[in-house]
Amino acid sequence: MIRDEILGYPVATPEIIAARRKELAVYGLTTIWDYGGAAIANQSVLGIGYVGVVVLVERAGQKLALKIRRTNIDKHSLIEEAHCLERANTVAIAPMVMQWSQNFILMEYIAGERFFDWLQRAAINSTKTEVWPVVVDLLEQSFRLDQLGLDRGDMNCVTNDVLMRAGQPVLIDFSRGSGDRRPQNVTALVQGLFWGSVMARYLTPFFPHCTKEILTPLLRNYKHQRNRANFDAILIAIAPMRKSLNKK
Ligand SMILES: Nc1ncnc2c1ncn2[C@@H]1O[C@H](COP(=O)(O)OP(=O)(O)OP(=O)(O)O)[C@@H](O)[C@H]1O
Ligand SMILES: [Mg+2]
């Protein structure tokens, strides 16, 4: 059984706990795993964010991730986030979302390390042959989201919101996603990766040519018209000859 401290994190009345237990009963979860890199009341959890607590659970023998809405946030429901995930899933992005309601999202569990941890190690141990394809993959995913008209939000700092699974980046956390804004996934990601966030320091040695001066005019063109040709111009500037690199 899931602990009250997790179900109603950080504080909840007995009424809230009871209502949440009832809401969760229909999910048919069989196990709550004591597993993950964070902890609440001596129980490990996969993560604690501003919006939710995420725990590893099991249903019908399958390990899944359950996001539980924190009790002390303005956001009244996780349903909008689940809808963003559902849309992203149509273009093979984000953990597959299985079931949701006001206070919960049940989704695919991504067994992987944080992008930032991977990047810090890659900066020491990896070559551009390993790093470039990951960056290109993230850019392609961002382009697919732009095409879909879904702005994920917070794309300029994906240190915690990309998990590396089997060498491939998986975008998680669509809590600030919206279909009502002009999508800025590609432009925010590029700025964050190469000069606008803590990631830049680790990526610059692999991408010394990715300066603000070179990329800004290309980003401006793309902002003006978010089409494949303008996106390709950005890709070519960031990872020239990437196709031959992948073949090696
Ligand atoms: N599907 C998943 N599989 C594995 N781990 C996950 C999954 N979803 C979330 N996590 C872990 O839980 C953490 C918190 O999840 P998430 O980022 O969705 O919460 P949040 O409250 O919206 O975060 P933020 O503080 O960024 O708003 C993540 O950083 C990640 O470590
Ligand atoms: Mg997050």
**Interval 183-235: pLDDT, tens:** 999 999 999 999 999 999 999 999 999 999 999 999 999 999 999 999 999 99
State residue 248's pLDDT score: 43
Q: Which residue from 234, 222, 159, 149 is spatially nearest to 196, judged by alpha carbons? A: 159
What is the maximal distance between C-alpha atoms in the chain? 61
Q: What secondary structure letter does DSSP report for 151?
A: B
Contact status, residue 23 vs residue 12, Cβ threshold 8 Å = no
Instruction: Decide: 115 in ligand 1 pocket, CB within 6 A.
Output: no
Instruction: Decide: 81 in ligand 1 pocket, CB within 6 A.
Output: no
- Which atom of ligand 1 sits closest to the CA of residue 37? 31
- What kind of fold does domain 4-108 have according to CATH? Phosphorylase Kinase; domain 1 (3.30.200)
Interval between CA 171 and ligand 2 midpoint (Å)? 10
Instruction: Decide: 122 in ligand 1 pocket, CB within 6 A.
Output: no
Q: Which residue from 223, 152, 160, 174 is spatially nearest to 51, judged by alpha carbons? A: 174
Q: Residues of CATH 1.10.510 domain(s) within the chain? A: 113-247
CATH number of the domain at 113-247, please?
Answer: 1.10.510
Instruction: Decide: 78 in ligand 1 pocket, CB within 6 A.
Output: no
Residue that is written with structure tokens 């990715």 in the block:
210
Distance CA 109, CA 97 (A): 10
For the chain, residues with pLDDT lower than 50 are 248
Choose the residue to mutate in 109, 159, 173, 178 for probing ligand 1, maximizing ligand atoms within 8 Å of C-beta.
173
Sign of dihedral through CA atoms 28, 40, 44, 175?
positive
Q: Which amino acid residue places its CA nearest to atom 30 of ligand 1?
A: 47
Interval between CA 107 and ligand 2 midpoint (Å)? 15
Distance CA 223, CA 231 (A): 10
Sign of dihedral through CA atoms 146, 150, 153, 155?
negative
Q: What percent helix, strand, coil does the chain show, rounded to 5?
A: 45, 20, 40
Q: Are strands 113-114 and 162-165 parallel, antiparallel or unpaired?
A: antiparallel
Distance CA 189, CA 197 (A): 10
Token code pair at residue 131: 């790093």
State residue 241's pLDDT score: 75
State residue 62's pLDDT score: 98
What's the whole-model pTM score?
Answer: 0.95
Contact status, residue 222 vs residue 234, Cβ threshold 8 Å = yes
Q: Residues of CATH 3.30.200.20 domain(s) within the chain? A: 4-108
Instruction: Decide: 54 in ligand 1 pocket, CB within 6 A.
Output: yes
For every residue of 48-67, DSSP letters joined together read E-SSEEEEEEEETTEEEEEE
State residue 246's pLDDT score: 54
